[in-house]
Amino acid sequence: MVKVGIIGGTGYTGSELLRLLLRHPEAEVTAITSRAETGKPVAALFPSLRGHTNLVFSDPSDEQALAGCDVVFSATPNGVAATHAPALLRRGVRLIDIAADFRLQDIAVWERWYGMKHPCPELVADAVYGLPEVHRERIRKARLVANPGCYPTAVQLGFLPVIEAGLADPGTLVASAVSGLSGAGRGAHVPMLFCEASESVRAYNVSGHRHRPEIAQGLSAAAGGPLDLVFVPHVAPLIRGMHATLTLRLLRSDLDIQALYEERYRSEPFVDVLPAGAHPDTRMVRGTNVCHIALHQPLPDRLVVLVTIDNLVKGASGQAVQNFNLMCGFPETLGLADIALFP
């Protein structure tokens, strides 16, 4: 059994991570931290976990709390994981950060978008970006994994095959994506209150969202040169779910794009390219680590890619467990075989 610790277990990603790990046959969660809930039984905060764990929240400043862990997940606000990383890595602990501290390789860009000085810039170059469909072999050997954001996961998986094949006009990439309210975290924010968000859909941060440079970084690597996009995020009155509508102009219109996507993702356990002309629903991936992709060509040289994921699973904690499996040499699907809840 691999001994696992979780830093920050009271948010949506932390609680989702704990739910997944408690059912993982090769993971033993030995510690979970929360500064605000120190000393409180986890099941008291999350009654859904009654009978599944006797863990008690410990203080993250207690160095003994995570002693003996083989792998630690950080499900904390941005900037926190980087303060824990040096000490953990010195002790030989492998770290998976579900926040954004190590996603961007350009430190100046990170500091501009996240509005703070990076706590440990010396480790950024060591971090492996945890999108298994691209970096699987590097993740297996990594000691520090930067788990991708939910929007970047959906958008990159949707664009990657045509970018890798050199078929996309680089000046025409547009991503319009809708996220459930859980994507904003568990804190109390007026725009996320029921009376504010219910029965309404709105765009936000259209002039600049911090996930855009993360997406551009990944797509640029796939393209072999600088590449950017227009990214428009939206929030909808869903608890879970993410739907991305991606558009671009194709440089060639004589190729079978459906076959290209099917071949690219043929061996990927968590990417399902739907039959041509399908329209994916967020509810069909709810609670799963699966990404659904559907393709449309309304004009011969125009491609529309529809992508759905569960923003808390494939977009966060499930992908973190997928990375954990790779790092530990387990089957990639271990503990992640759930079928979507329906209805």
**What string of DSSP letters covers 55-124?**
-B-B-TT-TTTTTT-SEEEE--STTTHHHHHHHHHHTT-EEEESSSTTT-S-HHHHHHHHTS--S-GGGG
The DSSP bridge pattern shows strands 302-309 and 230-235 to be unpaired
Q: Are the beta carbons of 291 and 269 closer than 8 angstroms? A: no
Q: Exactly one of 150, 195, 291, 328 is catalytic; which is it?
A: 150
Tokens representing 266 are 């043929």
Residue type, 166: G
Q: At what angle do helices 132-141 and 211-223 cross, to 10 degrees?
A: 90
Tell me the two tokens of residue 55: 């863990």
Strand order in 2-7's β-sheet? Answer: 27-33, 2-7, 71-74, 94-97, 144-146, 128-129
Give how far the C-alpha of residue 291 lies from the chain's centroid of Cα atoms, to the nearest Å.
Answer: 11
Cα separation, 33 vs 35, in Å, equals 7
**150 labelled catalytic:** yes
- Contact indicator for 177, 244 with CB cutoff of 8 Å: yes
Both tokens of 205, joined, read 């941060």
Residues in the chain: 343
CA–chain centroid gap for 315, Å, is: 3
Task: List, edge to edge, every strand of the sheet that includes 202-203.
Answer: 202-203, 230-235, 174-179, 242-249, 302-309, 291-299, 271-273
Amino acid identity, position 151: Y
Q: Which residues are catalytic?
A: 150
